[in-house]
Amino acid sequence: MRHSEASPIFISYGDINDISNFVRDNKVIAIIQFSQNCEVDRQDARRFTVGLPLLESPDTIEVWYADHPVTAVREEGIACAFTEDVLFGHLLIDEERFSSLAQATYYGYQRLQQCMKRWGFRYLMRLWNYFPRINLEENGLERYRSFCLGRHEALRGIDDFETSLPAASAIGTQATHLQIYFLAAKQRGIQIENPRQVSAFHYPKRYGPKSPSFSRAFLKHWGHHRHLYISGTASIKGYVSRHQSDLLMQTEETLDNIEHLITHANEQEDLGISGIGALSFFKVYVRSLEGVAEIKRIIGSRVGSRVPVLFLRGDICRSDLLVEIEGAYIECRH
Ligand code: 3EB
């Protein structure tokens, strides 16, 4: 039972020029920069750079706060920052040390589960996966599918696999390493699926030998506060990609999916989220710079101007998809 009034974690956006203020604050649990290549900070386990460049406001940083002072440690290549309630982890993996992306991914997921166990956090809530050449074929398998193979192998041992899967994003970079960061909790949360989309873990075999191990969204109650972490969402209805090579229609379809998911989560869990305009942030991953102004307009008109939106250059895991959008509803009082 939590007695604290504040949310155990919440997100905000700042400017790189103010970074020293965030670094000094012992309630800051993660400081994320965005650039062409990924990077870790060897001195400060809360700091890292995601290997995806921002398309506008390039000085933006993402700052996650906790409600209590944070303990931050780096051990054997994994950085962990945590409080009593929540753990924020980050790792970079050099694929050269492994025979395949599947092996590297398997190692990374084993490593992060060890770290969770070590600090007493049993439940994954949300994962971000970023790696280069996502649509390239290697040893007869597309790299995204190889990633899914390794992840599945590492996660299939968790209790109630397929009913306690975390939310996730998996995006292609032009960076050097496999980069994974994640949020974990001590108490269980609730997996949410989207009736408009076949659950990714039930995708047919033609999308890869092992289906992707993630939920459409993950809901966590923290006392009175509710957090809904929404996975990367694309223009997929059922399990098929829609609107090939039509960026604008893909954007609309993706927002339809997210709206449908929120409506469903509201009904299933009595959340009362008023709509996509109530979310705490959006990240929009685009394969090409072409058409970004139009996507911005669509998102602006459907989401409103209250929600921070980050635009990042990244590849989507199916080569026919041009855009992917993630977000979260993070209730907090501070
Ligand atoms: C999809 O719905 C689009 O493999 O972790 C979105 C979010 C996607 C997460 C993942 C993949 C992943 O299938 C792709």
Query: Given ligand 1 and candidates 214, 321, 326, which is best to mutate, with the most ligand atoms within 8 Å of its CB?
Result: 214
Residue 169 Cβ inside 6 Å of ligand 1? The answer reads yes
pLDDT for the residue 1: 43
Task: Find the catalytic residue in 95, 324, 326, 331.
Answer: 324
Please state at what angle helix 247-269 crosses helix 292-303, rounded to 10 degrees: 30
d(CA 70, CA 73): 10
d(CA 193, CA 203): 13
Q: What phi and psi, each to the nearest 5 degrees, are found at residue 78?
A: -125, 135
183 torsion bin: left (phi>0), alpha (psi -120 to 50), beta (else): beta
pLDDT for the residue 226: 96
C-beta neighbour count of 316 within 10 angstroms = 24
Got the DSSP string for 182-199?
EEEESS--EEE--TTB--
Got the DSSP string for 158-186?
STTTTTSPPEEEEEEESSSSEEEEEEEES
Closest-lying ligand 1 atom to the alpha carbon of residue 232 = 7
Residue minimizing CA distance to atom 9 of ligand 1: 169
- Cα 152 to ligand 1 centre (Å): 13
d(CA 29, CA 22): 10
pLDDT for the residue 97: 98
Strand partners of residue 120: none
Got the DSSP string for 231-291?
EEE-SEEBTEE-STT-HHHHHHHHHHHHHHHHHHHHHHH------GGG-SEEEEEES-STT
d(CA 75, CA 49): 18
- Cα 301 to ligand 1 centre (Å): 25
Residue minimizing CA distance to atom 14 of ligand 1: 317
Residue 168 Cβ inside 6 Å of ligand 1? The answer reads yes
- Cα 244 to ligand 1 centre (Å): 17
d(CA 228, CA 218): 6
- Cα 276 to ligand 1 centre (Å): 19
Residue 172 Cβ inside 6 Å of ligand 1? The answer reads no
d(CA 283, CA 276): 13
| Predicted confidence pLDDT, tens digits, the chain (334 residues) | 444 578 999 999 999 999 999 999 999 999 999 999 999 999 999 999 999 999 999 999 999 999 999 999 999 999 999 999 999 999 999 999 999 999 999 999 999 999 999 999 999 999 999 999 999 999 999 999 999 999 999 999 888 889 999 999 999 999 999 999 999 999 999 999 999 999 999 999 999 999 999 999 999 999 989 999 999 999 999 999 999 999 999 999 999 999 999 999 999 999 999 999 999 999 999 999 999 999 999 999 999 999 999 999 999 999 999 999 999 999 986 4
Residue minimizing CA distance to atom 13 of ligand 1: 200
Burial class (CB in 10 A: 0-12, 13-18, 19+), 69: exposed
- Cα 232 to ligand 1 centre (Å): 6
* Residues with Cβ within 8 Å of residue 251, at least 6 apart in sequence: 235, 295, 298, 299, 323, 325
Residue 323 Cβ inside 6 Å of ligand 1? The answer reads no
CB 300 within 8 A of CB 195: no
pLDDT for the residue 4: 54
Closest-lying ligand 1 atom to the alpha carbon of residue 214 = 5
d(CA 68, CA 8): 8
Helices (H) and strands (E) in the chain, counts: 5, 21
Active-site annotation holds for 324: yes
Closest-lying ligand 1 atom to the alpha carbon of residue 326 = 7
CB 185 within 8 A of CB 121: yes
Overall pTM surpassing 0.95 (yes/no)? yes
- Cα 233 to ligand 1 centre (Å): 7
